[in-house]
Amino acid sequence: MGVSRSNFVIRWINFCTMLLALSVIIFGVWMSTRHDSCRRSLTLPVLALGAFILIISLIGFLGALKNSFILLWIYLIMLCVILVAILAFTVLAFIVTNNGSGHSVPGLRYKEYQLKDYSSWFLKQLNNTHNWKHLRSCLVKSEDCNNLSKKYKTLKQYKSAKLTPIEAGCCRPPSECGYPVINASFYDLSFQPISSKHDCKLYRNSRTVKCYNCDSCKAGVAQYMKIEWRVVAIFNVILFVVLSMVYFVGCCARRNATANRVKA
């Protein structure tokens, strides 16, 4: 690849990523203004990611613009670190999300989930009191459970619904408890549960309690995280391929800058 072509490609790629980084930073600033503490907790990671992308893009852009050997070397080193980090995270994500699946229940269109089915990493994170306290508060504020009665106005609609993992695990008691269903938000807890499972004793119809302290809720969150992590892992594979091509073009630009330096 020629000098002008490789430098042109690097300049435009990094110009576009600088615009992307500025958008990420603006989004992070917007998140910091939200009243929701769950969203605000992501502000610093988002701002840090935006700043990191901006710095790398700026170095790559200036390196290609000035045909600077030193700046292009710094750019390639930082890009290499990112590639290694993406590869490591992707491998970890596939390993962590390898275990765990739902269990079909007769008469239900959705599955129920058991915490023991998931990887030890998920178990450690979800059984950590501090972590779960924060996640629990986010689940309560999300209104997912309280909105079920609005989504399914009749008992027939609710029983034939295809609930999400969090709705199935956190908004209702496990089916093995045997509590009669009144509507999408209430169960008749005056009945003695069929199962001795601890989750059956923890469930309450209260908006702030539900089954948020249940292992079934943690399992539902684990399944949700598994799905999200798999999506991120697949995206990372694509990103790794794209960045590898950018790295190749950057190597061409760096090699051309080195050749020009030697001639000078």
pLDDT digits (tens, 9 = 90+) for 65-113: 887 778 888 888 888 888 898 899 889 888 888 887 888 888 888 899 9
Distance CA 157, CA 159 (A): 6
Coil, helix or strand at residue 104 = strand
Coil, helix or strand at residue 163 = coil
**pLDDT interval class at 2 (50, 70, 90):** very low
Q: How far apart are the first and last CA of the chain?
A: 21
Distance CA 8, CA 92 (A): 35
CB 76 within 8 A of CB 247: yes
Distance CA 253, CA 249 (A): 6
Closest alpha carbon to 58 in 29, 84, 25 = 25
pLDDT digits (tens, 9 = 90+) for 7-39: 777 788 888 888 888 887 887 787 677 655 565
User: Average pLDDT, whole number, for the chain?
Assistant: 84
CB 179 within 8 A of CB 188: yes
Both tokens assigned to 90: 């992707």
Both tokens assigned to 214: 């249940």
190 φψ region: left (φ > 0), alpha (ψ -120 to 50), beta (else): alpha
pLDDT digits (tens, 9 = 90+) for 175-201: 999 999 999 889 999 988 888 889 999
pLDDT digits (tens, 9 = 90+) for 204-257: 999 999 999 999 999 999 998 888 888 888 888 888 888 888 888 777 777 766
